Amino acid sequence: MNTENNRLLESSFAGLTRASFGLTIVALGLCGFVYSAAATGLGQVLFDQQANGSLIVENDRVVGSKLVAQPFVKAQYFHPRPSAANYDPMAMAGSNMARTNPDLHKAVEERLSKIEIQDHVEKNAIPADLVTASGSGIDPEITVQSAMIQVKRVAKARHLQEQDVLRLLQENSIQPTFGILGQARVNVLELNLALDQIGTQ
C-alpha cells in the first residue's frame, strides 16, 4: 500500500513539475517575445519618429535628437542646462549632490558668475535651470525665461536684431501642457537649428 502511495506521489510530483516547466516556457514566450514584438511593432507603426529616437535630420544627415541636449558653448547659440553626464545619453544621471553639498554650491556659483558676465544679467535674475543639472543630465529644453536672458548675446553675435531673435524664440516655444502643467519652454537644439536657417535664407 505504501509503495503504491509513493508511486502516486512521485507521479503527481513529476506531473506538477512538467506543468510548471511548460507554463514557465509559455509565459516567457508570451511576455518575453510576443509582447515585446507587438509593442515594438505598434510603436513603429503608430509612433515612428519617437520609436526611433526622435531624430532631427538636416540635409539627409542626423544632427541630433529632440530628446537629448547638446553642449552648445559658442556665443551665437542658446546654451542648454548644465549636464552632470557631460551630455552623454549613455551615462545619463544627475549630480546626486545634496543641496548642502559645498561642491554643488561652488559649481552653481561658478555658473552664475559665468552667465552674469557673458549675458550681462544680474545673478538674481538668472533662472535656476541654467545653473543646475537636470535629473537625467541630458534635458533638451530650457524655460523661455532662461532663453530670454540669452537673446541679447545671441543677436549681437549673429548681427541680428533682437526682435528677430525674440520672434524665433516665440515661434519655437512650447506652452505648458493643458495651459497649466509645467512652464513655457523651448527645445535648445531646435531653436539653434532655426537660428542657423536664418543665415541660409
Separation in Å, CA 18 to CA 23, 25, 39, 155: 9, 11, 30, 73
Q: Report which DSSP code applies to 181.
A: B
Please state the φ and ψ torsions of residue 143, each to the nearest 5 degrees.
Answer: -70, 155
- Per-residue confidence at 52, pLDDT binned at 50, 70, 90? low
Q: Identify the pLDDT of residue 157.
A: 95
Q: Identify the pLDDT of residue 201.
A: 47
**Where are the chain's structural domains?**
2-49, 53-198
Q: Identify the pLDDT of residue 110.
A: 96
8 has a pLDDT exceeding 70: no
H, E, C per residue of the chain: CHHHHHHHHHHHHHHHHHHHHHHHHHHHHHHHHHHHHHHHHHHHHHCHHHHCCCEEEECCEEEEECCCCCCCCCCCCCCCCCCCCCCCHHHCCCCCCCCCCHHHHHHHHHHHHHHHHHHCCCHHHCCHHHCCCCCCCCCCEEEHHHHHCCHHHHHHHHCCCHHHHHHHHHHCEECCECCCECCCEEEHHHHHHHHHHHCCC
Q: Residue 145, Cα to own-chain centre: how many angstroms?
A: 19
When mean pLDDT is compared over 22-31, 38-47, 71-80, the highest value belongs to 71-80
Angle at 15 between CA 14 and CA 17, to 5 degrees: 65
Neighbours of 107 (CB within 10 A): 18
Neighbours of 191 (CB within 10 A): 23
Higher-confidence residue of 130 and 89: namely 130
Residue 136 corresponds to which amino acid?
S
- pLDDT tens digit sequence for 70-98: 999 999 999 999 998 888 888 887 788 88
In percent, the amount of the chain with pLDDT more than 90 equals 48
CA atoms within 13 A of residue 95's CA, in its CB half-sphere: 19
